[in-house]
């Protein structure tokens, strides 16, 4: 089993390396097939031995071998996170169902990481990532053959935040949520269903408020500083999908105070 887990971790780190390329190219509308990767500062082509997941970052000490400019720390963290996730999600058996579950889990987690990195840096959630998640979740709906409940979840994921955003605009004259956040909720609703997406909207808003409040208390940001909301949606979604028992315990704690 451990051998397969190691292979899975290596595969995960390779996916992480691919995500790093996507996180750089998607926001600048550069095709993933558009040649080899280069240092964004000096345009030096990155050799294969400088592109080995995890180890190359350590060997290069997080710097370009030519101009010595810093390589974003997120590159290393994404590769490590994907490796760890893949290691612990290695299928325990060789079957069609296990392979599909593994592909689904890896794809969802990779998409979540990509959203966090891009939204934190560029304050956008690309349509391509949301569409990929929507297709992935819709495929899960088709396999489960329980369309109405999950499709209704997708509709709520779009319409409810859209209504709140419009109301906020009428009252404040400002747009409270980005279109990418709303589309992400729509995609998630297809998998989480009606109750799950309402729960996600509530808890991600709570988490976002707590983090934003803490940042303002410590004067890291002020009221006018835009804070990407996608990471909060993703964090709650991560626990809902992969650790639902944590959300269940949190629900019990919340309702115990009511």
pLDDT tens-digit map of 82-91: 999 999 999 9
Residues 65, 143, single domain; the answer is: no
Q: What is the average per-residue pLDDT within 160-177?
A: 76
Over the stretch 10-61, which tens digit does the pLDDT of each residue have?
A: 999 999 999 999 999 999 888 887 777 888 888 888 888 889 999 999 999 9
Residues 54, 78, single domain; the answer is: yes
If you write DSSP's letter for every residue of the chain in order, what string do you get? -HHHHHHHHHHHHHHHHHHHHHHHHTTTT--TTSSS-B-TTT-PBPPGGG-STTHHHHHTTTB-TTT-PBPPHHHHHHHHHHHHHHHHT--SS-SHHHHHHHHHHHHHHHHHHHHHHHHHHHS---HHHHHHHHHHHHHHHHHHT-HHHHHHHHHHHHHHHHHHHHHHHHHHSS--S-HHHHHHHHHHHHHHHHHHHHHHHHHHHHHHHHHHHHHHHTTSS-TTS----HHHHHHHHHHHHH-HHHHHHHHHHHHHT-
What is the number of alpha carbons within 13 Å of residue 120 lying toward its C-beta? 13
Q: What is the average per-residue pLDDT within 126-141?
A: 93
Residues 195, 217, single domain; the answer is: yes
Residues 128, 74, single domain; the answer is: no
Residues 249, 139, single domain; the answer is: yes
Residues 101, 137, single domain; the answer is: no
Looking at 72, 106, 122, the residue that finishes a domain is 122
Residues 20, 116, single domain; the answer is: yes
Q: What is the pLDDT, as a whole number, of residue 145?
A: 61
Residues 156, 194, single domain; the answer is: yes
Number of folded domains that form the chain:
2
Q: What is the pLDDT, as a whole number, of residue 44?
A: 87
In terms of Cα–Cα distance, which of 20, 27, 22 is closest to 57?
20
Residues 161, 231, single domain; the answer is: yes
pLDDT at 234 over 80: yes
Query: What is the domain extent for residue 171?
Result: 124-258
Looking at 122, 144, 172, the residue that finishes a domain is 122
Residues 145, 245, single domain; the answer is: yes
Contacts of 151 (CB under 8 A, 6+ apart): 141, 190
Q: What is the pLDDT, as a whole number, of residue 229?
A: 95
Cα separation, 55 vs 229, whole angstroms:
32
Residues 191, 224, single domain; the answer is: yes
Looking at 66, 87, 122, the residue that finishes a domain is 122
pLDDT at 174 over 70: no
Over the stretch 71-82, which tens digit does the pLDDT of each residue have?
A: 999 999 999 999
Q: Which residues share a beta bridge with 45?
A: 38
Residues 94, 8, single domain; the answer is: yes
């Amino acid at each position: 089993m451990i051998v397969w887990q190691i292979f899975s971790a290596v595969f995960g780190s390779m996916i992480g390396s691919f995500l790093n390329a996507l996180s750089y190219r998607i926001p600048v509308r550069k095709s993933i097939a558009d040649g080899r990767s280069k240092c964004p500062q000096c345009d030096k082509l990155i050799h294969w031995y400088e592109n080995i997941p995890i180890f190359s970052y350590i060997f290069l000490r997080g710097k370009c071998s030519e101009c010595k400019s810093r390589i974003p720390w997120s590159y290393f963290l994404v590769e490590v996170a994907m490796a760890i996730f893949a290691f612990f999600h290695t299928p325990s058996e060789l079957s069609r169902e296990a392979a599909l579950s593994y592909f689904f889990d890896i794809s969802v987690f990779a998409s979540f990481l990509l959203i966090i990195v891009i939204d934190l840096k560029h304050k956008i959630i690309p349509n391509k990532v949301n569409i990929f998640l929507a297709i992935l979740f819709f495929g899960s709906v088709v396999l489960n053959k329980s369309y109405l409940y999950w499709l209704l979840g997708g509709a709520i994921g779009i319409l409810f935040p859209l209504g709140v955003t419009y109301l906020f605009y009428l009252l404040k004259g400002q747009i409270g949520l980005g279109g990418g956040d709303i589309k992400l909720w729509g995609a998630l609703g297809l998998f989480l269903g009606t109750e799950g997406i309402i729960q996600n909207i509530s808890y991600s808003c709570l988490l976002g408020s707590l983090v934003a409040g803490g940042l303002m208390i410590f004067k890291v940001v002020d009221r006018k500083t835009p804070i990407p909301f996608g990471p909060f949606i993703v964090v709650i979604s991560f626990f809902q999908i992969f650790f639902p028992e944590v959300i269940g315990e949190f629900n019990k704690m919340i309702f115990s105070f009511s």
